[in-house]
Amino acid sequence: MFVLETDRLFLRHYKEEDIPSLHCILSDSETMKYYPSPFSYEKTNNWVKNNQKRYKEDGYGLWAICLKENEELIGDCGLIKQVVDGKIEVEIGYHINKIYWSKGYATEAAKACKEYGFYKIGLDKLISIIDPRNIPSSRVAEKIGFTKEKQVFIFNKNHYIYSCLRNRK
């Protein structure tokens, strides 16, 4: 199912057939540098299944990012519930195939997801959970108007919480 579009991209629900192309991205050690390990095929399969479950239960999740020009799947971006300091927050997450890094795709997709979260779903606050060493991810958060709120211990290590409130466009 189609979710939203930007100048160069469209975002849609994951489908079963996406697993092999997504796995090329999530099994790459450089891409998954700030995760415990690159994904096994089973983990990628669960990633897709969990997001399909989120679409049904929450109405959103991480969506496949595709290039408008040829429909190639180049990563994902979207909204996911996370528990931070005991409170449910909604995070914007993003992963891009490394051959397409630094072309502004994550920023373009994340900006659209921010608008979608605030003005389509009606969320009051969005966050991003970022490893302090992950400069490209911090840059994306900053470029879409998020600011560093605090540092928390989550997913077994320290992370920055970047955030933005709906009234701050």
Which range of residues in 1-9, 50-58, 102-110, 148-156 is near ligand COA by CB under 6 A?
102-110
Q: What's the distance, CA 48 to chain centroid?
A: 13
- If the CB atoms of residues 55 and 101 are measured against ligand COA, the closer one turns out to be 101
Return the residue of 44, 51, 137, 163 that touches ligand COA, per CB under 6 A.
137
CA distances from 19 to 23, 49, 99 (A): 6, 10, 18
Q: In this complex, which beta carbon is closest to ligand COA, that of residue 15 or of residue 103?
A: 103
Tell me if 135 contacts ligand COA by CB under 6 A. Answer: yes
Q: Which of 15, 103, 120, 168 binds ligand COA (CB under 6 A)?
A: 103
Choose the binding region for ligand COA from 4-12, 44-52, 119-127, 131-139 (rule: CB under 6 A).
131-139
Among 79, 107, 144, 146, interactor with ligand COA by CB under 6 A: 107
Residue ranges that bind ligand COA, judged by CB under 6 A: 31, 34, 94-96, 101-107, 130, 134-137, 139-140
